[in-house]
Chain A
Amino acid sequence: MTPADLLFVLLKILVVLLLIPVTVGFCTLAERKILGRIQLRFGPNRAGPFGLLQWMADAVKLITKEYLIPGEADKALFVIAPLLTMVPAVTVFALIPFGKGMEITDVNVGILMLVAISSLGTYGIIFGGWASNSKYSLLGGLRSAAQMISYELSMGLALVGVVMMAGTMSLVEIVESQKGLWFIVAQPLGFIVFFISGVAETNRLPFDMPEAEGDLGAGYHTEYSAMGFGLFQLGEYSAILTMAALMTTLFCGGWGGPAAAALGGAVSLGYFVLKTSFFVFVFIWMRGTLPRVRYDQLMALGWKVLLPLSLLNILWVAGYVALRG
Protein backbone atom coordinates (compact mmCIF):
# COMPACT_ATOMS: atom_id res chain seq x y z
CA MET A 1 0.00 0.00 0.00
CA THR A 2 1.59 3.26 -1.13
CA PRO A 3 1.19 6.51 0.86
CA ALA A 4 -1.07 7.86 -1.91
CA ASP A 5 -3.39 4.84 -1.52
CA LEU A 6 -3.41 5.29 2.23
CA LEU A 7 -4.33 8.95 1.91
CA PHE A 8 -7.18 8.09 -0.45
CA VAL A 9 -8.50 5.43 1.95
CA LEU A 10 -8.26 7.92 4.81
CA LEU A 11 -10.24 10.45 2.80
CA LYS A 12 -12.97 7.89 2.05
CA ILE A 13 -13.15 6.91 5.71
CA LEU A 14 -13.47 10.54 6.82
CA VAL A 15 -16.27 11.24 4.32
CA VAL A 16 -18.28 8.19 5.45
CA LEU A 17 -17.56 8.76 9.13
CA LEU A 18 -18.68 12.39 9.07
CA LEU A 19 -21.77 11.57 7.03
CA ILE A 20 -22.97 8.95 9.54
CA PRO A 21 -23.99 11.37 12.36
CA VAL A 22 -25.80 13.56 9.82
CA THR A 23 -27.60 10.57 8.30
CA VAL A 24 -28.52 9.35 11.76
CA GLY A 25 -29.81 12.84 12.55
CA PHE A 26 -32.07 12.79 9.51
CA CYS A 27 -33.12 9.25 10.42
CA THR A 28 -34.38 10.37 13.83
CA LEU A 29 -36.16 13.28 12.19
CA ALA A 30 -37.76 10.95 9.62
CA GLU A 31 -38.81 8.62 12.41
CA ARG A 32 -40.50 11.39 14.39
CA LYS A 33 -42.16 12.81 11.27
CA ILE A 34 -43.49 9.47 10.04
CA LEU A 35 -44.60 8.38 13.51
CA GLY A 36 -46.34 11.71 13.83
CA ARG A 37 -48.21 11.19 10.58
CA ILE A 38 -49.18 7.64 11.59
CA GLN A 39 -50.60 9.04 14.84
CA LEU A 40 -52.42 11.89 13.06
CA ARG A 41 -50.15 14.72 14.17
CA PHE A 42 -47.42 16.77 12.50
CA GLY A 43 -44.26 15.76 14.29
CA PRO A 44 -41.46 18.32 14.78
CA ASN A 45 -42.08 21.35 12.53
CA ARG A 46 -40.58 24.36 14.34
CA ALA A 47 -36.80 24.15 13.77
CA GLY A 48 -36.21 25.27 10.18
CA PRO A 49 -38.58 24.72 7.25
CA PHE A 50 -40.79 21.66 7.92
CA GLY A 51 -38.64 20.92 10.99
CA LEU A 52 -35.72 19.95 8.76
CA LEU A 53 -33.16 21.37 11.21
CA GLN A 54 -34.57 19.49 14.20
CA TRP A 55 -31.60 17.11 14.26
CA MET A 56 -29.22 20.07 14.69
CA ALA A 57 -31.24 21.39 17.60
CA ASP A 58 -31.14 17.90 19.15
CA ALA A 59 -27.36 17.72 18.73
CA VAL A 60 -26.82 21.12 20.35
CA LYS A 61 -29.04 20.11 23.24
CA LEU A 62 -27.20 16.82 23.76
CA ILE A 63 -23.85 18.64 23.86
CA THR A 64 -24.92 21.36 26.29
CA LYS A 65 -26.75 19.19 28.86
CA GLU A 66 -25.20 18.11 32.14
CA TYR A 67 -23.40 14.75 32.06
CA LEU A 68 -24.58 13.13 35.27
CA ILE A 69 -22.93 10.00 36.66
CA PRO A 70 -25.04 8.18 39.29
CA GLY A 71 -23.54 7.99 42.77
CA GLU A 72 -22.99 4.24 43.01
CA ALA A 73 -22.02 3.78 39.36
CA ASP A 74 -18.85 2.12 38.15
CA LYS A 75 -17.45 5.37 36.73
CA ALA A 76 -14.92 4.11 34.17
CA LEU A 77 -17.29 1.50 32.74
CA PHE A 78 -20.16 3.99 32.75
CA VAL A 79 -18.23 6.42 30.55
CA ILE A 80 -16.77 3.77 28.21
CA ALA A 81 -20.00 1.79 27.61
CA PRO A 82 -21.61 4.19 25.08
CA LEU A 83 -18.37 4.20 23.09
CA LEU A 84 -18.35 0.40 23.06
CA THR A 85 -21.79 0.41 21.48
CA MET A 86 -21.25 3.24 19.04
CA VAL A 87 -17.80 2.42 17.64
CA PRO A 88 -18.52 -1.13 16.36
CA ALA A 89 -21.93 -0.11 15.01
CA VAL A 90 -20.24 2.60 12.94
CA THR A 91 -17.17 0.56 11.91
CA VAL A 92 -19.38 -1.90 10.00
CA PHE A 93 -19.77 0.73 7.28
CA ALA A 94 -16.15 0.09 6.27
CA LEU A 95 -17.29 -3.13 4.60
CA ILE A 96 -20.50 -2.13 2.84
CA PRO A 97 -20.37 -1.49 -0.92
CA PHE A 98 -22.29 1.78 -1.36
CA GLY A 99 -22.09 1.72 -5.16
CA LYS A 100 -20.13 0.28 -8.05
CA GLY A 101 -16.52 0.39 -6.84
CA MET A 102 -17.61 2.53 -3.87
CA GLU A 103 -16.51 0.49 -0.89
CA ILE A 104 -13.87 1.47 1.62
CA THR A 105 -12.43 -2.02 1.68
CA ASP A 106 -13.29 -5.51 0.50
CA VAL A 107 -12.03 -8.59 2.34
CA ASN A 108 -12.66 -12.18 1.31
CA VAL A 109 -14.39 -13.03 4.62
CA GLY A 110 -16.55 -9.89 4.51
CA ILE A 111 -19.71 -11.40 6.03
CA LEU A 112 -17.89 -13.03 8.95
CA MET A 113 -15.98 -9.82 9.63
CA LEU A 114 -19.22 -7.89 9.59
CA VAL A 115 -20.99 -10.20 12.04
CA ALA A 116 -17.91 -10.23 14.28
CA ILE A 117 -17.68 -6.43 14.46
CA SER A 118 -21.38 -5.73 14.88
CA SER A 119 -21.82 -8.28 17.68
CA LEU A 120 -19.22 -6.39 19.75
CA GLY A 121 -21.95 -3.82 20.37
CA THR A 122 -23.57 -6.18 22.89
CA TYR A 123 -20.71 -5.46 25.31
CA GLY A 124 -21.49 -1.76 25.43
CA ILE A 125 -25.11 -2.44 26.25
CA ILE A 126 -24.48 -4.98 28.99
CA PHE A 127 -21.65 -2.89 30.52
CA GLY A 128 -23.85 0.20 30.43
CA GLY A 129 -26.63 -1.68 32.21
CA TRP A 130 -24.27 -3.09 34.82
CA ALA A 131 -22.33 0.11 35.49
CA SER A 132 -25.39 2.27 36.17
CA ASN A 133 -26.32 0.39 39.36
CA SER A 134 -29.99 0.86 38.57
CA LYS A 135 -32.41 -2.07 38.51
CA TYR A 136 -34.02 -0.96 35.26
CA SER A 137 -30.66 -0.62 33.57
CA LEU A 138 -29.39 -3.99 34.72
CA LEU A 139 -32.53 -5.83 33.64
CA GLY A 140 -32.59 -3.97 30.33
CA GLY A 141 -28.95 -4.76 29.67
CA LEU A 142 -29.43 -8.46 30.46
CA ARG A 143 -32.56 -8.77 28.38
CA SER A 144 -30.91 -7.02 25.49
CA ALA A 145 -27.82 -9.23 25.61
CA ALA A 146 -29.89 -12.43 25.76
CA GLN A 147 -32.08 -11.23 22.90
CA MET A 148 -29.16 -10.19 20.72
CA ILE A 149 -27.26 -13.45 21.07
CA SER A 150 -30.41 -15.52 20.50
CA TYR A 151 -31.26 -13.80 17.26
CA GLU A 152 -27.66 -13.69 16.11
CA LEU A 153 -27.91 -17.43 15.68
CA SER A 154 -30.78 -17.44 13.20
CA MET A 155 -29.23 -14.44 11.47
CA GLY A 156 -25.96 -16.33 11.02
CA LEU A 157 -27.85 -19.31 9.62
CA ALA A 158 -29.77 -17.08 7.20
CA LEU A 159 -26.43 -15.67 6.02
CA VAL A 160 -25.21 -19.20 5.20
CA GLY A 161 -27.94 -19.37 2.54
CA VAL A 162 -26.62 -16.20 0.91
CA VAL A 163 -23.04 -17.45 1.00
CA MET A 164 -24.05 -20.76 -0.59
CA MET A 165 -25.78 -19.13 -3.50
CA ALA A 166 -23.06 -16.53 -4.10
CA GLY A 167 -20.20 -18.96 -3.48
CA THR A 168 -18.23 -16.23 -1.71
CA MET A 169 -18.21 -14.22 1.52
CA SER A 170 -17.00 -10.97 -0.03
CA LEU A 171 -19.78 -8.39 0.00
CA VAL A 172 -18.71 -6.89 -3.33
CA GLU A 173 -18.87 -10.26 -5.05
CA ILE A 174 -22.19 -11.08 -3.41
CA VAL A 175 -23.69 -7.94 -4.97
CA GLU A 176 -22.26 -8.89 -8.35
CA SER A 177 -23.59 -12.46 -8.15
CA GLN A 178 -27.11 -11.04 -7.81
CA LYS A 179 -27.07 -9.50 -11.28
CA GLY A 180 -29.40 -12.15 -12.71
CA LEU A 181 -31.65 -12.88 -9.75
CA TRP A 182 -32.00 -11.11 -6.43
CA PHE A 183 -31.60 -13.49 -3.50
CA ILE A 184 -34.88 -12.27 -2.01
CA VAL A 185 -36.59 -14.04 -4.93
CA ALA A 186 -34.40 -17.15 -4.78
CA GLN A 187 -34.74 -17.64 -1.01
CA PRO A 188 -37.66 -15.66 0.42
CA LEU A 189 -37.60 -17.76 3.58
CA GLY A 190 -34.00 -16.74 4.25
CA PHE A 191 -34.93 -13.10 3.80
CA ILE A 192 -37.85 -13.35 6.22
CA VAL A 193 -35.65 -14.96 8.87
CA PHE A 194 -32.93 -12.36 8.29
CA PHE A 195 -35.41 -9.49 8.44
CA ILE A 196 -37.02 -10.59 11.72
CA SER A 197 -33.62 -11.31 13.28
CA GLY A 198 -32.38 -7.95 12.06
CA VAL A 199 -35.23 -6.14 13.76
CA ALA A 200 -34.62 -8.07 16.99
CA GLU A 201 -30.84 -7.48 16.78
CA THR A 202 -31.32 -3.74 16.68
CA ASN A 203 -33.76 -3.86 19.63
CA ARG A 204 -36.53 -2.24 17.63
CA LEU A 205 -40.26 -2.58 18.02
CA PRO A 206 -41.99 -5.00 18.16
CA PHE A 207 -38.93 -6.53 19.87
CA ASP A 208 -37.82 -3.58 22.00
CA MET A 209 -37.96 -5.51 25.27
CA PRO A 210 -34.71 -4.03 26.64
CA GLU A 211 -36.32 -0.61 26.88
CA ALA A 212 -40.04 -1.32 26.83
CA GLU A 213 -41.17 2.07 28.14
CA GLY A 214 -44.00 0.82 30.32
CA ASP A 215 -41.77 -1.86 31.73
CA LEU A 216 -38.23 -0.71 32.42
CA GLY A 217 -38.10 3.06 32.02
CA ALA A 218 -35.57 3.40 29.25
CA GLY A 219 -33.77 0.08 29.79
CA TYR A 220 -29.99 0.06 29.71
CA HIS A 221 -29.70 3.81 29.11
CA THR A 222 -32.08 4.90 31.87
CA GLU A 223 -29.26 6.59 33.79
CA TYR A 224 -27.54 8.12 30.78
CA SER A 225 -27.85 11.80 30.03
CA ALA A 226 -26.34 14.24 27.54
CA MET A 227 -23.76 12.85 25.12
CA GLY A 228 -23.63 9.41 26.74
CA PHE A 229 -27.26 9.00 25.76
CA GLY A 230 -26.43 10.59 22.41
CA LEU A 231 -23.74 8.02 21.67
CA PHE A 232 -26.09 5.16 22.56
CA GLN A 233 -28.68 6.61 20.18
CA LEU A 234 -26.03 7.08 17.50
CA GLY A 235 -25.02 3.44 17.89
CA GLU A 236 -28.61 2.25 17.80
CA TYR A 237 -29.53 4.17 14.67
CA SER A 238 -26.26 3.22 12.96
CA ALA A 239 -27.23 -0.38 13.64
CA ILE A 240 -30.60 0.23 11.98
CA LEU A 241 -28.89 1.78 8.97
CA THR A 242 -26.49 -1.16 8.83
CA MET A 243 -29.33 -3.67 8.93
CA ALA A 244 -31.20 -1.84 6.17
CA ALA A 245 -27.99 -1.65 4.12
CA LEU A 246 -27.39 -5.37 4.67
CA MET A 247 -30.90 -6.32 3.59
CA THR A 248 -30.21 -4.32 0.44
CA THR A 249 -26.73 -5.72 -0.12
CA LEU A 250 -27.36 -9.37 0.66
CA PHE A 251 -30.88 -9.90 -0.61
CA CYS A 252 -31.97 -7.05 -2.89
CA GLY A 253 -29.11 -6.72 -5.33
CA GLY A 254 -27.15 -4.03 -3.44
CA TRP A 255 -26.39 -1.13 -5.78
CA GLY A 256 -27.68 -3.10 -8.76
CA GLY A 257 -30.61 -1.93 -10.85
CA PRO A 258 -31.45 -1.01 -14.43
CA ALA A 259 -28.35 0.47 -16.08
CA ALA A 260 -26.47 0.63 -12.75
CA ALA A 261 -23.55 -1.53 -13.87
CA ALA A 262 -23.09 0.40 -17.13
CA LEU A 263 -23.39 3.92 -15.71
CA GLY A 264 -21.83 3.10 -12.31
CA GLY A 265 -20.98 5.94 -9.94
CA ALA A 266 -23.84 8.12 -8.81
CA VAL A 267 -26.55 5.96 -10.41
CA SER A 268 -25.53 2.84 -8.51
CA LEU A 269 -25.21 4.88 -5.30
CA GLY A 270 -28.71 6.23 -5.96
CA TYR A 271 -30.16 2.72 -6.20
CA PHE A 272 -28.40 1.74 -2.97
CA VAL A 273 -29.70 4.79 -1.09
CA LEU A 274 -33.21 4.26 -2.43
CA LYS A 275 -33.40 0.61 -1.36
CA THR A 276 -31.82 1.28 2.02
CA SER A 277 -34.19 4.17 2.72
CA PHE A 278 -37.09 1.88 1.94
CA PHE A 279 -35.99 -0.61 4.59
CA VAL A 280 -35.39 2.17 7.12
CA PHE A 281 -38.94 3.31 6.40
CA VAL A 282 -40.22 -0.22 7.04
CA PHE A 283 -38.42 -0.21 10.41
CA ILE A 284 -40.20 3.03 11.37
CA TRP A 285 -43.52 1.88 9.94
CA MET A 286 -43.42 -1.26 12.10
CA ARG A 287 -42.77 0.85 15.18
CA GLY A 288 -45.91 2.82 14.46
CA THR A 289 -48.06 -0.22 13.74
CA LEU A 290 -47.15 -3.36 15.67
CA PRO A 291 -47.71 -4.05 19.38
CA ARG A 292 -44.81 -5.22 21.54
CA VAL A 293 -44.39 -8.95 22.18
CA ARG A 294 -43.84 -10.50 25.63
CA TYR A 295 -40.31 -11.54 26.58
CA ASP A 296 -40.98 -15.29 26.72
CA GLN A 297 -42.73 -15.04 23.35
CA LEU A 298 -39.69 -13.26 22.01
CA MET A 299 -37.29 -15.97 23.12
CA ALA A 300 -39.66 -18.69 21.89
CA LEU A 301 -39.87 -17.06 18.46
CA GLY A 302 -36.11 -16.94 18.18
CA TRP A 303 -35.33 -20.45 19.34
CA LYS A 304 -38.40 -22.44 18.33
CA VAL A 305 -39.54 -20.80 15.10
CA LEU A 306 -36.71 -18.90 13.43
CA LEU A 307 -33.99 -21.47 14.15
CA PRO A 308 -35.82 -24.42 12.49
CA LEU A 309 -36.94 -22.14 9.66
CA SER A 310 -33.39 -21.02 8.96
CA LEU A 311 -32.21 -24.65 8.95
CA LEU A 312 -34.97 -25.44 6.48
CA ASN A 313 -33.78 -22.56 4.33
CA ILE A 314 -30.24 -23.94 4.34
CA LEU A 315 -31.48 -27.36 3.28
CA TRP A 316 -33.55 -25.86 0.51
CA VAL A 317 -30.81 -23.61 -0.86
CA ALA A 318 -28.16 -26.32 -0.48
CA GLY A 319 -30.29 -28.78 -2.43
CA TYR A 320 -30.87 -26.17 -5.12
CA VAL A 321 -27.19 -25.26 -5.43
CA ALA A 322 -25.89 -28.83 -5.21
CA LEU A 323 -28.31 -30.21 -7.79
CA ARG A 324 -28.43 -27.31 -10.26
CA GLY A 325 -24.80 -26.24 -9.81
Chain B
Amino acid sequence: MNEAVVGYIPILLFFGLAAALGVTMLVLGIIVRPSSPNPVKKIPYECGNVPTGDARGQVRSRYYLFAMLLVLFDVEVIFLFPWAVNLRSLGLFGFIEMAIFLGILLLGYVYLWRNGGLEWD
Protein backbone atom coordinates (compact mmCIF):
# COMPACT_ATOMS: atom_id res chain seq x y z
CA MET B 1 0.00 0.00 0.00
CA ASN B 2 1.12 3.55 -0.63
CA GLU B 3 3.26 4.84 2.21
CA ALA B 4 1.43 8.19 2.35
CA VAL B 5 -1.99 6.58 2.85
CA VAL B 6 -0.99 4.33 5.74
CA GLY B 7 -0.87 7.21 8.23
CA TYR B 8 -4.54 8.02 7.63
CA ILE B 9 -5.89 4.52 8.30
CA PRO B 10 -5.71 4.89 12.11
CA ILE B 11 -7.66 8.17 11.86
CA LEU B 12 -10.40 6.42 9.92
CA LEU B 13 -10.42 3.54 12.41
CA PHE B 14 -10.58 5.98 15.30
CA PHE B 15 -13.50 7.80 13.65
CA GLY B 16 -15.41 4.55 13.20
CA LEU B 17 -14.78 3.33 16.73
CA ALA B 18 -15.69 6.71 18.22
CA ALA B 19 -18.99 6.61 16.32
CA ALA B 20 -19.55 3.06 17.61
CA LEU B 21 -18.89 4.25 21.17
CA GLY B 22 -21.37 7.11 20.77
CA VAL B 23 -24.10 4.85 19.35
CA THR B 24 -23.50 2.33 22.13
CA MET B 25 -23.92 5.03 24.75
CA LEU B 26 -27.19 6.14 23.16
CA VAL B 27 -28.55 2.62 22.75
CA LEU B 28 -27.37 1.28 26.12
CA GLY B 29 -29.98 3.30 27.97
CA ILE B 30 -32.95 1.89 26.06
CA ILE B 31 -32.98 -1.19 28.32
CA VAL B 32 -33.06 0.73 31.61
CA ARG B 33 -34.58 4.15 30.92
CA PRO B 34 -38.29 4.89 31.18
CA SER B 35 -40.24 6.20 28.22
CA SER B 36 -43.60 7.82 28.87
CA PRO B 37 -43.93 10.88 26.63
CA ASN B 38 -47.09 12.97 26.75
CA PRO B 39 -48.16 16.04 24.79
CA VAL B 40 -47.26 18.46 27.58
CA LYS B 41 -43.75 17.03 27.96
CA LYS B 42 -43.19 17.38 24.24
CA ILE B 43 -43.72 21.16 24.17
CA PRO B 44 -40.45 23.06 23.62
CA TYR B 45 -39.08 24.70 26.76
CA GLU B 46 -39.72 28.42 26.98
CA CYS B 47 -39.48 29.12 30.69
CA GLY B 48 -43.08 28.12 31.30
CA ASN B 49 -44.78 30.20 28.61
CA VAL B 50 -46.79 28.39 25.98
CA PRO B 51 -44.70 28.77 22.80
CA THR B 52 -46.29 30.73 19.98
CA GLY B 53 -45.56 30.12 16.33
CA ASP B 54 -42.89 28.02 14.71
CA ALA B 55 -39.30 28.39 15.87
CA ARG B 56 -37.92 28.05 12.37
CA GLY B 57 -38.76 31.57 11.28
CA GLN B 58 -36.60 34.32 9.88
CA VAL B 59 -33.12 34.93 11.23
CA ARG B 60 -30.72 37.80 10.72
CA SER B 61 -28.99 37.96 7.36
CA ARG B 62 -25.78 38.97 9.18
CA TYR B 63 -25.09 35.31 9.97
CA TYR B 64 -24.98 34.63 6.25
CA LEU B 65 -22.67 37.59 5.60
CA PHE B 66 -20.17 36.42 8.20
CA ALA B 67 -20.23 32.92 6.74
CA MET B 68 -19.38 34.42 3.34
CA LEU B 69 -16.53 36.42 4.90
CA LEU B 70 -15.14 33.25 6.42
CA VAL B 71 -15.04 31.56 3.02
CA LEU B 72 -13.11 34.54 1.59
CA PHE B 73 -10.51 34.70 4.33
CA ASP B 74 -10.20 30.98 4.95
CA VAL B 75 -9.01 30.49 1.37
CA GLU B 76 -6.30 33.02 2.16
CA VAL B 77 -5.24 30.94 5.18
CA ILE B 78 -5.05 27.81 3.02
CA PHE B 79 -2.69 29.65 0.64
CA LEU B 80 -0.49 30.58 3.57
CA PHE B 81 0.16 27.03 4.78
CA PRO B 82 2.30 25.66 1.90
CA TRP B 83 4.26 28.91 1.92
CA ALA B 84 4.80 28.64 5.68
CA VAL B 85 6.25 25.14 5.40
CA ASN B 86 8.76 26.21 2.75
CA LEU B 87 9.60 29.66 4.06
CA ARG B 88 13.09 28.71 5.25
CA SER B 89 14.18 27.65 1.77
CA LEU B 90 12.36 30.53 0.00
CA GLY B 91 14.14 33.09 2.17
CA LEU B 92 13.71 36.82 1.73
CA PHE B 93 12.21 36.46 -1.76
CA GLY B 94 9.35 34.33 -0.44
CA PHE B 95 8.79 36.72 2.43
CA ILE B 96 8.43 39.77 0.18
CA GLU B 97 6.17 37.93 -2.24
CA MET B 98 3.80 36.85 0.51
CA ALA B 99 3.89 40.34 2.01
CA ILE B 100 2.54 41.66 -1.32
CA PHE B 101 -0.18 38.96 -1.35
CA LEU B 102 -1.19 39.79 2.22
CA GLY B 103 -1.07 43.51 1.42
CA ILE B 104 -3.63 43.14 -1.36
CA LEU B 105 -5.92 41.14 0.92
CA LEU B 106 -5.45 43.70 3.65
CA LEU B 107 -6.78 46.37 1.25
CA GLY B 108 -9.98 44.34 0.90
CA TYR B 109 -10.16 43.96 4.66
CA VAL B 110 -9.81 47.73 5.21
CA TYR B 111 -12.50 48.37 2.57
CA LEU B 112 -14.79 45.92 4.34
CA TRP B 113 -14.21 47.57 7.71
CA ARG B 114 -14.74 51.11 6.34
CA ASN B 115 -18.04 50.05 4.75
CA GLY B 116 -19.36 48.62 7.99
CA GLY B 117 -19.18 45.02 6.84
CA LEU B 118 -17.74 43.95 10.18
CA GLU B 119 -20.39 45.65 12.35
CA TRP B 120 -22.84 43.31 14.03
CA ASP B 121 -25.58 45.93 14.47
Asked whether A68 and B37 contact (CB < 8 A) given A1-B1, A133-B54, A323-B92, the answer is yes
Contacts of A295 in B (CB 8 A): 120
User: Which chain A residues numbered 151 to 210 have a C-beta less than 8 Å away from chain B?
Assistant: 152-153, 156-157, 160-161, 163-164, 167-169
A135 to B51, CA, bound (A): 9
Size bin of chain A's contact surface: 35 or more
**Can you name the residue of chain B whose Cβ is closest to the Cβ of A107?**
B7
State the main secondary structure of chain B at its contact with A. helix
Task: Determine how close the nearest CB of chain A comes to the CB of B112; give it in whole angstroms.
Answer: 9
Contact pick for A160, options B14, B69, B81, CB 8 Å? B81
Task: Determine how close the nearest CB of chain A comes to the CB of B34; give it in whole angstroms.
Answer: 5
Q: When the two chains form their complex, are residues A71 and B42 in contact, meaning their CB atoms are under 8 A apart?
A: yes
A167 to B4, CA, bound (A): 19
Is residue B107 contacting chain A, with contact meaning CB distance below 8 A? no
Q: When the two chains form their complex, are residues A227 and B26 in contact, meaning their CB atoms are under 8 A apart?
A: yes
**Can you name the residue of chain A whose Cβ is closest to the Cβ of B86?**
A167
Write out, one digit per residue, whether chain B residues 18-30 have a CB within 8 A of any chain A CB (1) or not (0): 1101110110110
Write out, one digit per residue, whether chain A residues 133-157 have a CB within 8 A of any chain B CB (1) or not (0): 1111111001001100110110011
Q: When the two chains form their complex, are residues A17 and B92 in contact, meaning their CB atoms are under 8 A apart?
A: no
Interface residues of A (CB under 8 A from B): 1, 6, 9-10, 12-14, 16-17, 21, 62-72, 79, 82-83, 86-87, 90-91, 93-95, 104-108, 111-113, 117, 130, 132-139, 142, 145-146, 149-150, 152-153, 156-157, 160-161, 163-164, 167-169, 217, 222-223, 226-228, 230-231, 295-296, 299-300, 303-304, 307, 311, 314-315, 318-319, 321-323, 325
The 6 A-B residue pairs with the shortest CB-CB distance in the complex, in nearest-first order: A71-B42, A134-B44, A322-B95, A296-B120, A105-B10, A94-B14
